Amino acid sequence: MSNTVLITGASGGIGKELATVFASHGHDLILTARNRHRLDALCKALHMRYGIRATAIPADLSEDGAAERLVRDIEHRGLQVDILVNNAGFGDHCLFAESDSGKQEAMIRLNVLALTSLTRAVLPAMMRRRRGRVLNVASIASFLPGPYMAVYYATKAYVLSLSQALAAELKPYGITVTALCPGLVDTGFEKTADLEKTALFKTLPVSDPAAVAKYGYRITMCGNSVGVHGIPYKAMAFASRLAPRDLLARIILSIQSGRRSISISKRSDRYE
Protein backbone atom coordinates (compact mmCIF):
# COMPACT_ATOMS: atom_id res chain seq x y z
CA MET A 1 0.00 0.00 0.00
CA SER A 2 1.33 3.40 -0.99
CA ASN A 3 1.90 5.89 1.81
CA THR A 4 2.28 9.64 1.70
CA VAL A 5 5.47 10.85 3.33
CA LEU A 6 6.03 14.39 4.61
CA ILE A 7 9.74 15.26 4.63
CA THR A 8 11.06 18.52 6.07
CA GLY A 9 14.37 20.03 4.98
CA ALA A 10 13.97 18.13 1.71
CA SER A 11 15.78 20.46 -0.69
CA GLY A 12 19.27 19.04 -0.11
CA GLY A 13 21.54 16.77 1.89
CA ILE A 14 19.99 13.90 3.81
CA GLY A 15 16.47 15.24 3.23
CA LYS A 16 16.83 15.08 -0.54
CA GLU A 17 18.27 11.57 -0.34
CA LEU A 18 15.44 10.46 1.96
CA ALA A 19 12.93 11.80 -0.58
CA THR A 20 14.68 9.78 -3.28
CA VAL A 21 14.72 6.52 -1.34
CA PHE A 22 11.07 6.81 -0.26
CA ALA A 23 10.06 7.60 -3.86
CA SER A 24 12.06 4.62 -5.14
CA HIS A 25 9.89 2.39 -2.93
CA GLY A 26 6.67 3.83 -4.36
CA HIS A 27 5.72 6.32 -1.64
CA ASP A 28 4.03 9.61 -2.54
CA LEU A 29 5.74 12.70 -1.16
CA ILE A 30 5.04 16.05 0.42
CA LEU A 31 8.31 17.96 0.49
CA THR A 32 8.99 21.15 2.39
CA ALA A 33 12.02 23.45 2.78
CA ARG A 34 12.75 27.14 2.27
CA ASN A 35 13.91 26.93 -1.35
CA ARG A 36 10.89 26.70 -3.68
CA HIS A 37 12.95 26.30 -6.85
CA ARG A 38 14.92 23.32 -5.54
CA LEU A 39 11.77 21.70 -4.14
CA ASP A 40 9.89 22.05 -7.42
CA ALA A 41 12.83 20.61 -9.38
CA LEU A 42 13.14 17.66 -7.01
CA CYS A 43 9.41 16.90 -7.10
CA LYS A 44 9.41 16.95 -10.89
CA ALA A 45 12.48 14.72 -11.11
CA LEU A 46 11.12 12.13 -8.66
CA HIS A 47 7.71 12.08 -10.33
CA MET A 48 9.29 11.54 -13.74
CA ARG A 49 11.64 8.83 -12.49
CA TYR A 50 9.37 6.84 -10.17
CA GLY A 51 5.83 7.80 -11.18
CA ILE A 52 4.91 8.90 -7.67
CA ARG A 53 2.95 12.02 -6.69
CA ALA A 54 5.22 14.68 -5.24
CA THR A 55 3.91 17.93 -3.78
CA ALA A 56 6.16 20.86 -2.88
CA ILE A 57 5.10 23.20 -0.06
CA PRO A 58 7.83 25.78 0.67
CA ALA A 59 8.07 26.88 4.31
CA ASP A 60 10.57 28.16 6.83
CA LEU A 61 9.78 26.05 9.87
CA SER A 62 11.94 28.22 12.13
CA GLU A 63 9.24 30.90 11.96
CA ASP A 64 6.63 31.01 14.72
CA GLY A 65 3.53 29.00 13.79
CA ALA A 66 5.03 27.66 10.57
CA ALA A 67 4.51 24.00 11.48
CA GLU A 68 0.82 24.53 12.20
CA ARG A 69 0.39 26.49 8.94
CA LEU A 70 2.05 23.67 7.02
CA VAL A 71 -0.35 21.08 8.44
CA ARG A 72 -3.35 23.27 7.61
CA ASP A 73 -2.05 23.65 4.06
CA ILE A 74 -1.67 19.88 3.72
CA GLU A 75 -5.21 19.30 5.00
CA HIS A 76 -6.57 22.01 2.67
CA ARG A 77 -5.06 20.10 -0.28
CA GLY A 78 -6.89 16.96 0.80
CA LEU A 79 -3.68 15.11 1.65
CA GLN A 80 -2.86 12.99 4.68
CA VAL A 81 0.49 12.20 6.29
CA ASP A 82 1.15 8.49 6.76
CA ILE A 83 4.88 8.89 7.50
CA LEU A 84 6.45 12.02 8.95
CA VAL A 85 10.17 12.64 8.47
CA ASN A 86 11.49 15.46 10.67
CA ASN A 87 14.78 16.20 8.96
CA ALA A 88 15.03 20.01 8.93
CA GLY A 89 17.63 21.48 11.25
CA PHE A 90 20.82 23.50 11.39
CA GLY A 91 23.86 23.99 13.60
CA ASP A 92 26.29 26.70 14.58
CA HIS A 93 29.94 26.53 15.66
CA CYS A 94 31.11 29.19 18.07
CA LEU A 95 31.83 29.98 21.71
CA PHE A 96 28.41 30.03 23.40
CA ALA A 97 28.98 33.32 25.26
CA GLU A 98 29.87 35.02 21.96
CA SER A 99 27.11 33.42 19.89
CA ASP A 100 24.35 35.22 18.03
CA SER A 101 21.36 34.90 20.38
CA GLY A 102 18.91 35.23 17.50
CA LYS A 103 20.58 32.38 15.66
CA GLN A 104 20.56 30.17 18.73
CA GLU A 105 16.86 30.85 19.28
CA ALA A 106 16.11 30.09 15.62
CA MET A 107 18.01 26.82 16.00
CA ILE A 108 15.89 25.84 18.99
CA ARG A 109 12.70 26.80 17.14
CA LEU A 110 13.62 24.66 14.14
CA ASN A 111 15.42 21.72 15.73
CA VAL A 112 13.09 21.40 18.73
CA LEU A 113 9.86 23.42 18.56
CA ALA A 114 9.01 22.85 14.88
CA LEU A 115 9.76 19.13 15.16
CA THR A 116 7.60 18.89 18.28
CA SER A 117 4.72 20.91 16.85
CA LEU A 118 4.69 19.04 13.55
CA THR A 119 4.75 15.66 15.26
CA ARG A 120 1.98 16.70 17.64
CA ALA A 121 -0.13 17.93 14.73
CA VAL A 122 -0.01 14.73 12.64
CA LEU A 123 -0.28 12.14 15.43
CA PRO A 124 -4.03 12.32 16.21
CA ALA A 125 -4.97 11.26 12.66
CA MET A 126 -2.39 8.47 12.75
CA MET A 127 -3.81 7.29 16.07
CA ARG A 128 -7.34 7.20 14.65
CA ARG A 129 -6.09 5.12 11.72
CA ARG A 130 -3.99 3.06 14.14
CA ARG A 131 -1.02 3.15 11.83
CA GLY A 132 1.79 5.53 10.96
CA ARG A 133 5.50 6.14 11.23
CA VAL A 134 7.68 9.02 12.40
CA LEU A 135 11.37 9.37 11.55
CA ASN A 136 13.27 12.04 13.48
CA VAL A 137 16.76 12.82 12.22
CA ALA A 138 18.82 13.18 15.37
CA SER A 139 22.61 12.77 15.45
CA ILE A 140 25.53 11.09 17.17
CA ALA A 141 25.57 14.47 18.94
CA SER A 142 22.45 13.27 20.78
CA PHE A 143 24.66 11.13 23.02
CA LEU A 144 27.31 13.75 23.81
CA PRO A 145 27.89 17.19 25.33
CA GLY A 146 29.17 19.51 22.60
CA PRO A 147 31.39 22.44 23.55
CA TYR A 148 31.50 25.07 20.78
CA MET A 149 28.23 23.60 19.45
CA ALA A 150 26.47 23.46 22.81
CA VAL A 151 22.95 24.40 21.72
CA TYR A 152 23.03 22.16 18.65
CA TYR A 153 24.08 19.12 20.65
CA ALA A 154 21.43 19.90 23.27
CA THR A 155 18.69 20.08 20.63
CA LYS A 156 19.69 16.69 19.27
CA ALA A 157 19.66 15.18 22.76
CA TYR A 158 16.07 16.42 23.00
CA VAL A 159 15.18 14.78 19.67
CA LEU A 160 16.53 11.42 20.80
CA SER A 161 14.79 11.56 24.19
CA LEU A 162 11.46 12.62 22.67
CA SER A 163 11.65 9.90 20.02
CA GLN A 164 12.28 7.14 22.55
CA ALA A 165 9.44 8.33 24.78
CA LEU A 166 6.96 8.57 21.91
CA ALA A 167 7.98 5.17 20.59
CA ALA A 168 6.82 3.66 23.88
CA GLU A 169 3.64 5.77 24.08
CA LEU A 170 2.50 5.06 20.53
CA LYS A 171 3.30 1.37 20.20
CA PRO A 172 -0.24 0.35 21.30
CA TYR A 173 -1.62 2.46 18.43
CA GLY A 174 0.45 0.75 15.75
CA ILE A 175 2.66 3.81 15.27
CA THR A 176 6.45 3.57 15.23
CA VAL A 177 8.86 6.39 16.07
CA THR A 178 12.48 6.15 14.97
CA ALA A 179 15.49 8.35 15.79
CA LEU A 180 18.16 8.26 13.09
CA CYS A 181 21.56 9.14 14.53
CA PRO A 182 24.20 9.66 11.83
CA GLY A 183 27.68 10.93 12.47
CA LEU A 184 29.40 13.33 10.11
CA VAL A 185 27.84 13.38 6.65
CA ASP A 186 29.12 14.95 3.45
CA THR A 187 26.54 17.74 3.15
CA GLY A 188 28.93 20.72 3.02
CA PHE A 189 28.21 21.79 6.60
CA GLU A 190 31.90 21.88 7.52
CA LYS A 191 32.53 24.65 4.97
CA THR A 192 29.46 26.63 5.99
CA ALA A 193 30.29 26.47 9.69
CA ASP A 194 34.07 26.97 9.35
CA LEU A 195 34.66 23.52 10.88
CA GLU A 196 37.46 22.80 8.43
CA LYS A 197 39.76 24.62 10.85
CA THR A 198 38.97 22.13 13.62
CA ALA A 199 39.96 18.49 13.99
CA LEU A 200 36.36 17.29 13.73
CA PHE A 201 36.24 16.43 10.04
CA LYS A 202 39.87 15.28 10.12
CA THR A 203 39.36 12.90 13.06
CA LEU A 204 36.06 11.17 12.32
CA PRO A 205 34.78 9.30 9.23
CA VAL A 206 32.38 11.13 6.91
CA SER A 207 29.40 9.25 5.49
CA ASP A 208 27.65 9.56 2.13
CA PRO A 209 24.16 11.09 2.55
CA ALA A 210 22.59 8.50 0.23
CA ALA A 211 23.90 5.69 2.43
CA VAL A 212 22.55 7.41 5.54
CA ALA A 213 19.15 7.86 3.87
CA LYS A 214 18.94 4.20 2.85
CA TYR A 215 19.80 3.17 6.38
CA GLY A 216 17.21 5.60 7.76
CA TYR A 217 14.53 4.21 5.47
CA ARG A 218 15.33 0.64 6.48
CA ILE A 219 15.19 1.22 10.23
CA THR A 220 12.01 3.29 9.87
CA MET A 221 10.17 0.60 7.96
CA CYS A 222 11.43 -2.01 10.44
CA GLY A 223 10.11 0.10 13.30
CA ASN A 224 13.42 0.44 15.16
CA SER A 225 13.31 3.10 17.87
CA VAL A 226 16.97 4.19 17.47
CA GLY A 227 19.52 3.64 14.73
CA VAL A 228 23.13 4.86 14.76
CA HIS A 229 24.66 4.84 11.28
CA GLY A 230 28.20 3.50 10.88
CA ILE A 231 30.25 1.13 12.99
CA PRO A 232 32.60 3.82 14.41
CA TYR A 233 29.61 5.88 15.52
CA LYS A 234 27.83 2.86 17.00
CA ALA A 235 30.97 2.31 19.10
CA MET A 236 30.99 5.99 20.05
CA ALA A 237 27.34 5.87 21.15
CA PHE A 238 28.04 2.78 23.25
CA ALA A 239 31.15 4.31 24.81
CA SER A 240 29.20 7.45 25.71
CA ARG A 241 27.16 5.39 28.18
CA LEU A 242 30.29 4.31 30.02
CA ALA A 243 32.56 7.36 30.03
CA PRO A 244 32.07 10.23 32.52
CA ARG A 245 30.26 13.19 30.97
CA ASP A 246 32.94 15.68 31.97
CA LEU A 247 35.56 13.56 30.20
CA LEU A 248 33.40 13.41 27.07
CA ALA A 249 32.99 17.18 27.18
CA ARG A 250 36.76 17.71 27.37
CA ILE A 251 37.34 15.35 24.43
CA ILE A 252 34.75 17.10 22.27
CA LEU A 253 36.18 20.46 23.32
CA SER A 254 39.64 19.49 22.10
CA ILE A 255 38.24 18.30 18.75
CA GLN A 256 35.90 21.21 18.06
CA SER A 257 37.69 24.20 19.55
CA GLY A 258 39.81 25.31 16.56
CA ARG A 259 40.26 29.03 16.76
CA ARG A 260 38.87 30.48 20.01
CA SER A 261 36.53 33.02 18.48
CA ILE A 262 34.50 31.54 15.66
CA SER A 263 31.15 32.68 14.39
CA ILE A 264 29.17 32.01 11.22
CA SER A 265 26.71 34.24 9.43
CA LYS A 266 25.29 31.61 7.09
CA ARG A 267 23.25 28.72 8.34
CA SER A 268 23.13 25.16 7.02
CA ASP A 269 19.97 23.10 6.45
CA ARG A 270 21.77 20.02 7.76
CA TYR A 271 24.59 19.17 10.09
CA GLU A 272 24.35 15.40 9.94
Show which residues are catalytic.
152, 156
The residues that bridge with 246 in the sheet, in sequence order, are none
Q: How far is CA 177 from CA 12, 100, 111, 129, 174, in A?
A: 23, 33, 17, 16, 10
- Angle (deg, nearest 10), helices 13-24 and 209-222: 50
CA–CA separation, 98 vs 219, rounded Å? 39
Could you tell me if 139 and 161 are in contact, meaning their C-beta atoms sit under 8 angstroms apart?
Answer: no
CA–CA separation, 192 vs 103, rounded Å? 14
Q: Which of 104, 145, 98, 97 is nearest to 255 (CA)?
A: 145
Indicate if the alpha-carbon torsion angle 208, 212, 215, 217 is positive or negative: negative
Q: How far is CA 59 from CA 4, 25, 41, 68, 182, in A?
A: 18, 26, 16, 11, 25
